[in-house]
Structure 1
Amino acid sequence: MDQHSSKSRRQFLQKIAATSLAAASSPLSSLAAQAKAEERILQFEKRISANDTIRLGVIGYGVQGHFDLNTALKVPGVELAGICDLYTGRIENAKEKYGKELFTTRNYQELLDRKDIDAVIIATHDVWHARMTLDALAKGKHVYCEKPMVYKISEGPSVIAAAKKSGKVLQVGSQRVSSIGYAKAKELLAAGEIGKLNMVNAVYDRQSSIGAWEYTIPKDANASTTDWERFIAVTDKMPFDAKKFFWWRAFKEVGTGVAGDLFIHLLSGTHLITNSKGPESIYSTGQFSYWKDGRNMPDVMSGVMQYPETKEHAAFQLTLQVNFISGTGGQEVIRLVGSEGVIDVVGNSITVKHSLLPEAPGFGGYDSVFTFSKQMQEEMQKEYDAKWTPQQRKRKVKEDIVFKAPQGYDDHLDHFTNFFEAIRSNKPVVEDAEFGFRAAAPALACNESYFSKKIIHWDPVKMKLV
């Protein structure tokens, strides 16, 4: 290890230590986050031999494909070997960025046929995720598939089976499950810091046209420049529509709306933190509030899910909310509510606030006592004072806890680091096919509930509709 690397490592760990739990005297002020950060740095400092180099192909080079590739190439020992996209402008963009010699294609099968590609990122519209994942695994490629892992719940079992049979790494792209902040929230909950969990409120709101998926459409968009027939090869036939190609998340024919895009982040995070396999009942409702631009998936949507008691967690209710015209300006938060406090997970930052009941039951004030006769009031007051001390009547006080990831921390980079490390070392990933499906299925069930106006029943252990 050179002197610069050693110094960088120490500085990073010092930042972790400085931003760890504020309650230093608490038994919860562990070094879990610091240990995870150290593990990440050790992975980065590991010498990568030529044999450890991972050559990467990208299928779907749109907005998320760009972000994924840029992040993946920050991991040492990862090289780009090819890009597939249907829009000619993105093929040109790829060659402008990475050189004219870069292999590019509009047919993803040609990319999978290349022997010099070890792993692929699948960042296409949702309707293709399962098909491409199955084809990639069959060709012996490791797969990083963007969420949701599948477009239909019925596709999940075959993807899980193929991943197991292939012996290859399959990781789903809900990057927050690799976050050191989420790991800290998981630790705090398991330690009983907020008592017994009973509710989770999860919100992902936005307040912008881009956030509502109204991406800029290029002037040359047509059926030829987008290879429209290939785009709809796994859907019912439909005429060319530039919005469905570039704003595909907003259309049920090819995307999964706010449920598949954003509910699934909230579900993935909740499942990681609570160690849950999923809900048993699911209901959702939605409306078209503002973005009346031809989309057929709502821009405001809420869901309610009931999680049964298991050996991993108490029974709890999960509420989900996405509002694409939110006067808050936009927010992303998972709030875990327990019998003794709340954990707010905002990005990679954690705040814990406590509210503990006094030992004594309530008496007086906004109570029914004043409605009794004066004699009864005096008699009961005397009995209460004799039984409970002033100290027992007071609410217990516990210090707040604040955890913040160090400045510049990137959970997306951690997620890709975990993916490539799993390929090299054969270690399991956090978000494998089963985890990915257990998040995707309830999200997709929200769409089913919205359109059918029915409660959807789900078996989270057997992973099937009831």
Structure 2
Amino acid sequence: MKNDSSSSRRKFLQQIGATSLVAASSPFASLAAQQKAEERILTYDKKITANDKVRIGVIGFGVQGHYDLGSALKVPGVELAGICDLYPGRLENAKETYGNDLFVTRDYRELLNKSDIDAILICTTDVWHAKMTLDALAKGKHVYCEKPMIYKISEGHPVVAAAKKSGKVVQIGSQRVSSIGLAKAKELLAAGEIGKLNMVNSVNDRQSSIGAWQYTIPKDASPETLDWDRFIAITGKKIPYDPKKFFWWRAFKDVGTGVAGDLFIHLLSGTHFMTNSKGPEAIVSTGQFSYWKDGRDLPDVMSGVMQYPDTPEHPAFQLTLQVNFISGTGGQELTRLIGSEGIIDVRGNTITVKHSIMPEAPGFGGYDSLFTFSKAMREEMQKDFEAKWTPEQRKKKTKEDIVYNPPAGYNEHVDHFTNFFDAIRTGKVVVEDAEFGFRAAAPALACNESYLTKKIVRWDPVAMKLKA
């Protein structure tokens, strides 16, 4: 299936290149984002030849499968060659959307065996991610795998090793790491705009039944139409038929990874990208069932705290994670980088920097013990303080705030897929490869482990291994 959107996409990218991406008052109005946009313009101006075409197959055509395929097909030269899903209604939907000639199957191995498929998009239940990735690499396919890359921490090293051995491109689906917004936040942090980093607060709250994964279940759902036995085969368990576990799978630990695997993973991926971090060394989490008591066995409200060590890439900092599926805020998404001289707020691709810089002189007077001393002592110490510190040194320093807004219509999801297909065509390295994916997935999954065992999980971020 061809996609011919290069003209409109190129026009949009030219607008990016002509846009001032940071407030004019900012001392960091670099050309980094503009250069990235110009690089994209060259890519889309290039005529796509037969050798440049990438044919893809999609495993899992649910909500994320639809979104992933839609974004992938916006990249010029990408063609759809087949779709796999266990539910026939989704295969019918695929043919209604992409034509009756489209190859469809309920057995993902049939996609892997097709010689005309170059890359596989894995958009399935978490429990299948590692198995399908390994199988696809063994068949010589490039792999785009939705986050989390793995269902169990023990699956991480085998996937990383297989990716390296295969020589194929593996990219994990946390699209924020390809966004121009996070690139700007990363640049500002590295430039010392907020001083020395010491904490990151990251929140992704929702307040809706759909946000809590209560997706519509079709009227014809049954063990036969959902191919239930094939669906649960990977678990090694005899799980009684439950359509919720098929369509609301994120909420059930037999096949999904809850808010940690769905949303903590995004917050971790973004934080690791902006800080260049390899990961935390201590992880603890807690959760509760507050509202969505629908049979799920993973909580609808969860918080995590992670300690990151002092490394050559970044100073020691603490990361807090929060997901609330019944938040009276109406839902919010915010990552706040807190430093010694200010904060960087990341809301999608909008970046705001606010400064708060302490005066050079130490505190003296006001809410201080000074007023409890005798008058003579107060006057003597006041003279000493004024002699040592100038009025300028006693003032808080000020810097103008920075506000960065992406161009209207910017789509980080398409950018993420562009990076994936560029890597396939040119051999360049993607940001979110298997190792990056493992470094983000392991701490997220460790939050579930901590919640279930009520213990602190110790992690070696360099060796990527659990500590005893």
**TM-score, normalised by the number of residues in structure 2:** 0.97
C-alpha offsets along residues 232-275 of structure 1, whole Å, 9 cap, x if unaligned?
01111111101000000000000000000000000000000000
Compared CA separation, residues 3 and 406, structure 1 to 2 (3 A): closer
- 1:249 maps to 250
- Please tell me whether the aligned partners of residues 212 and 325 of structure 2 are also in contact (alpha carbons under 8 angstroms): yes
* Corresponding position: 1:336 with 2:369: no
What is residue 298 of structure 2 aligned with on the other side?
297
Match of 1:51 in 2: 51
Distance 1:5 1:257, change over 3 A: closer
- The equivalences for 1:192-203 within 5 A come to 192-203=192-203
Distance 2:8 2:71 in 1: 22
SS class of match (1:461): coil
State the shift of 1:4 in Å. 8.6
Note if contact 1:40-1:414 (Cα within 8 Å) is conserved in structure 2.
no
Give 2:431's aligned residue: 430
Q: Do the aligned partners of 2:14 and 2:37 also contact (CA within 8 Å) in 1? A: no
The amino acid across from 1:214 in the alignment is Q
Partner residue in 2 for 1:348: 349
How far does the alpha carbon of each residue in 1:123-181 deviate from its partner, in whole angstroms, 9 at most, with x for none?
00000000000000000000000000000000000000100111110000000000001
State the alpha-carbon separation in 1 of the partners of residues 393 and 138 from structure 2: 66
1:273 aligned onto 2:282: no
CA distance in 1, matches of 2:442, 2:196: 26
* 1:81-104 deviation digits (Å, cap 9, x = unpaired): 000000111011011111111100
Q: Secondary structure at the match of 1:232?
A: helix
Segments of 5+ residues of structure 2 without an aligned counterpart are: 1-5
Alignment of 1:6-17 (within 5 A): 9-15=13-19, 17=20
SS at match of 1:429: coil
Maintained 8 Å contact 1:57/1:117: yes
- TM-superposed CA distance for 1:9, in Å, is 4.7
Closer, same or farther in 2 for the Cα pair 1:3/1:206, shift >3 Å?
A: closer
User: 1:378/1:258 Cα in 2 relative to 1: closer, same or farther (>3 Å)?
Assistant: same
Q: Measured at CA, do residues 391 and 444 of structure 1 come closer, stay the same or move farther in structure 2, by a change above 3 Å?
A: same
Tell me, in whole angstroms, the C-alpha distance in 1 between the residues paired with 2:201 and 2:175. Answer: 20
Offset of residue 75 of structure 1: 0.4
- In structure 1, how many angstroms separate the alpha carbons of the residues matched to 2:438 and 2:177? 14
Contact 2:14 2:38 in 1 (8 A): no
1:20 Cα deviation (Å)?
Answer: 2.0
CA 455–427 in structure 1, closer or farther in 2 if over 3 Å, else same:
same
Which residue type is aligned with residue 145 of structure 2? C
The amino acid that maps onto 1:23 is S
Secondary structure, in 3 states, of the residue corresponding to 1:165? Answer: helix
Q: Name 2:367's counterpart in structure 1.
A: 366
Q: For 1:388, give the aligned amino acid.
A: W
Cα distance in 2 for residues equivalent to 1:295 and 1:11: 46
Kept in 2: contact 1:5–1:45 (CA 8 A):
no
Partners of 1:152 and 1:188 in 2: CA distance: 35
8 A contact 1:22–1:402 mirrored in 2: no
Name the structure 2 match of 1:144. 144
Deviation at 1:8, TM superposition (A): 5.3
Secondary structure in structure 2 of the residue aligned to 1:230: helix
1:229 corresponds to: 229
Matched residue SS, 2:424: helix
1:66 to 2:66 alignment: yes
What is the distance in 2 between the residues matched to 1:219 and 1:139? 36
**Cα deviation, residue 418, structure 1:** 0.3
Deviates more, 1:279-288 or 1:386-395: 386-395
Distance 2:12 2:297 in 1: 49
Distance 2:448 2:406 in 1: 34
Preserved contact between residue 280 and residue 308 of structure 1 (Cα < 8 Å): yes
Q: Which runs of 4+ in 1 moved over 4 A?
A: 2-9
Q: Deviations over 1:273-297 (max 9, x none)?
A: 0000000000000000110010000
Cα root mean square deviation, aligned: 1.3
Q: Using a 3 Å threshold, how does the CA distance of structure 1 residues 150 and 8 change in structure 2: closer, same or farther? A: closer
- CA distance in structure 1 between the aligned counterparts of 2:171 and 2:124, rounded to whole angstroms: 15
Q: Shift of the alpha carbon at 1:22?
A: 3.6
Partners in 2 of 1:21 and 1:423 — Cα distance? 36
The 1:314–1:80 alpha-carbon spacing in structure 2 relative to 1, beyond 3 Å, is same
Task: Note the alpha carbon deviations across 1:65-87, whole angstroms, 9 max, x for none.
Answer: 00000110000000000000001
Task: Report what 1:188 is aligned to.
Answer: 188
Cα distance in 2 for partners of 1:272, 1:4 equals 30
Give the Cα separation in 2 of the matches to 1:240 and 1:203.
Answer: 34
| Pair 1:34-2:34 in alignment | yes
Number of aligned positions between the proteins? 461
The alignment status of 1:306 with 2:299, answered yes or no, reads no
Residue 23 of structure 1: aligned partner: 25
CA distance in 2 between partners of 1:94 and 1:3 (Å): 26
Letter in 2 for 1:221: A
Q: Report the CA distance between 1:333 and its aligned residue.
A: 1.1
Q: Give the deviation of 1:229 after TM superposition.
A: 0.4
In the alignment, the residues of structure 2 paired with residue 176 and residue 6 of structure 1 have an alpha-carbon distance, to the nearest angstrom, of: 21
Evaluate the alpha carbon distance shift between residue 365 and residue 313 of structure 1 in structure 2; reply closer, same or farther with a 3 A threshold: same
Aligned partner of residue 80 in structure 2, secondary structure = strand
Residues 389-398 or 379-388, more deviating: 379-388
Name the % identity: 75
How far 1:41 sits from its partner (Å)?
2.2
1:314-325 pair list within 5 angstroms = 314-325=315-326
- Partner SS, residue 234 of structure 1: helix
* Partners of 2:10 and 2:45 within 8 A in 1: no
Q: Which stretches in structure 1 are left out of the alignment for 5+ residues?
A: none
> What secondary structure is seen at the aligned counterpart in 2 of 1:11?
helix
- Distance verdict in 2 for CA 1:271–1:6, change over 3 Å: closer
Query: 1:391-414, CA deviations, whole angstroms, 9 ceiling, x for partnerless residues?
Result: 211100000011111000000000
Distance 1:78 1:149, change over 3 A: same
User: Residue 83 of structure 1 corresponds to which residue in structure 2?
Assistant: 83
In structure 1, what is the Cα distance between the partners aligned to 2:405 and 2:382?
Answer: 47
Quote how far apart the aligned CAs of 1:5 are: 8.4
Deviations 1:270-328 (A, max 9, x none): 00000000000000000001100100000000000000011010000000000001111
Say if 2:363 is the partner of 1:357. Answer: no
The match for 2:3 is none
3-state DSSP of counterpart to 1:421: helix
TM superposition shift of 1:10 = 3.6
User: Corresponding residue for 1:262?
Assistant: 263
Would you say the 8 A contact 2:259–2:300 is kept in 1?
A: yes
The answer to whether the 8 Å contact 2:10/2:44 transfers is no
Shift in Å, 1:350? 0.6
Q: Is the 8 Å Cα contact of residues 272 and 278 (structure 2) preserved in structure 1?
A: yes
Question: Distance between the aligned counterparts of 1:215 and 1:451, measured in 2?
Answer: 26
TM-superposed deviation, 1:380: 1.1
What is the distance in 2 between the residues matched to 1:296 and 1:239? 15
Q: SS of the counterpart of 1:82?
A: strand
Aligned mates of 2:12, 2:376 — CA distance in 1: 74
- C-alpha contact 2:13 2:37 (8 A) present in aligned 1: no
Distance 1:220 1:46, change over 3 A: same
